[in-house]
Amino acid sequence: MAIIYVKSSSTGNGSAWNNAYGSLASAITAKLCRKINNVLDLISGFTLATTGMLQPPISVPEPSNLIGFITLSGLMLGNAVKKARKSG
């Protein structure tokens, strides 16, 4: 299982906070993120714009127990396995 980091305005490959993906869409569509059970680690304050599954869009507050994890079917919101936190 890999942890994929997402932070607004970043341009990296998601391997660490200082190399985070800049958008949720980039993280979800990345080849690495399509593997089962990879953890998507969102920076606090990040907004998940959801469609269908959860309404309205969710903002990740600080601190938060909200975590997304990637499965083959896309972003699923589940029980907290990590906490959203400040980068660094």
d(CA 76, CA 33): 13
Q: Is 65 helix (H, G, I), strand (E, B) or coil?
A: coil
- Return the exposure string of 45-79: e unless at least 16 CB atoms fall within 10 Å of the residue's CB, then b: ebebeeeeeeeeebebeeebebbbbbeeeebeeee
Residues 24-45: tens digit of each pLDDT:
777 767 755 555 555 666 665 5
Strands 38-42 and 47-48, bridge-based pairing: unpaired
Q: How confident is the model at residue 73 (pLDDT cuts 50, 70, 90)?
A: very low
Q: Where are the domains of the chain?
A: 3-78
pLDDT at 5 over 70: yes
- Rounded to two decimals, the pTM is 0.48
